[in-house]
């Protein structure tokens, strides 16, 4: 199998996944997350239930699929920060990669955030996904330190950075997107910056 064929297949799979997520989100927004079933989404998308489940294990995953790839992007950005930069500053700048989609499509990001905040099952799944970012961030911090194995301090910094990210996004949503998300993240990180 040639690399081009695999790449084409991956591109097609990503396109189908994105379309299914869009159809699902539209239904959830219009009818309410709890009132829409996987069968409803599959029917609206013109696919079978099993096809939907091949792309998403749950309804929650269809809404939160964008979170999956962000942890590795943020961890890669963290590794790429200047070696002489302190961990906290590096974490703050790496988080810019997590909010890129908010800047690119703020109305869509705000709509998703509102749906998540208003749906307990989605909020719980989002917290679970955010918690899953911690190992990648702690490992990236350890690699920056040249230790290879994350220390307790690396885990604490990774966890605190994720909480700062969540607080910044929550305030941005509370402002209906009116406040600057970068400034909110700066403020959240500054509250815990070493003095």
149 and 177 in a single domain? The answer is yes
Please tell me the predicted confidence (pLDDT) of residue 31.
93
Query: Do 152 and 117 share a structural domain?
Result: yes
- Domain with 95 in it: 63-195
CA angle 55, 57, 63 (to 5 degrees): 80
pLDDT value, residue 9 = 84
Phi first, then psi: give them for residue 106, nearest 5 degrees: -60, -35
Per-residue pLDDT at 1: 45
Residue 73: which of 105, 106, 56, 96 has the closest Cα?
Answer: 96
* Pair (82, 160) in one structural domain: yes
Q: Structurally, how many domains does the chain consist of?
A: 2
Same domain, residue pair 8 and 33: yes
Question: Looking at residue 42, which CATH number applies to its domain?
Answer: 1.10.10.60
Residues 104 and 53 reside in one and the same domain: no
Same domain membership, residue 89 and residue 14? no
Same domain, yes or no, for 163 and 94? yes
Q: Are residues 186 and 119 in the same domain?
A: yes
Tokens of 114: 């509102």
Rounded (10°) angle between helices 87-94 and 181-191: 160
Task: Print pLDDT tens along the chain (195 aa).
Answer: 444 455 888 888 888 888 998 899 999 989 999 999 999 999 999 999 999 999 998 999 988 887 777 888 999 999 999 999 999 999 999 999 988 888 888 998 898 899 999 899 999 998 888 888 999 999 999 999 999 899 999 999 999 999 999 999 999 999 999 999 999 999 999 999 877
Q: Are residues 77 and 169 in the same domain?
A: yes
| CATH code, 147 | 1.10.357.10
Boundary-marking domain end, from 20, 37, 57: 57
What pTM was estimated for this model as a whole? 0.83
pLDDT of residue 2: 47
Residues 193 and 176 in one domain: yes
Are 26 and 117 within one domain? no
Say yes or no: 85 and 2 in one domain. Answer: no
């Amino acid at each position: 199998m040639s690399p081009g064929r695999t790449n084409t297949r991956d591109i097609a799979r990503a396109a189908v996944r994105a379309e299914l997520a869009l159809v699902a989100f539209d239904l959830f927004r219009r009818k309410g997350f709890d009132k829409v079933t996987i069968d409803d989404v599959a029917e609206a998308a013109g696919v079978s239930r099993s096809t939907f489940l091949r792309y998403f294990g749950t309804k929650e995953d269809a809404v939160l699929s964008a979170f999956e790839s962000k942890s590795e992007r943020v961890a890669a950005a963290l590794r790429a920060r200047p070696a002489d930069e302190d961990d906290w500053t590096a974490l703050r700048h790496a988080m810019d990669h997590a909010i890129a989609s908010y800047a690119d499509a703020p109305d869509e990001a705000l709509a998703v955030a509102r749906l998540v905040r208003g749906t307990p099952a989605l909020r719980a799944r989002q917290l679970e996904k955010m918690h899953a970012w911690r190992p990648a961030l702690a490992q990236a911090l350890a690699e920056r330190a040249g230790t290879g194995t994350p220390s307790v301090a690396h885990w604490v910094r990774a966890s605190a950075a994720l909480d700062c990210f969540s607080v910044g996004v929550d305030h941005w949503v509370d402002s209906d997107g009116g406040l600057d998300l970068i400034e909110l993240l700066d403020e959240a990180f500054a509250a815990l910056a070493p003095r």
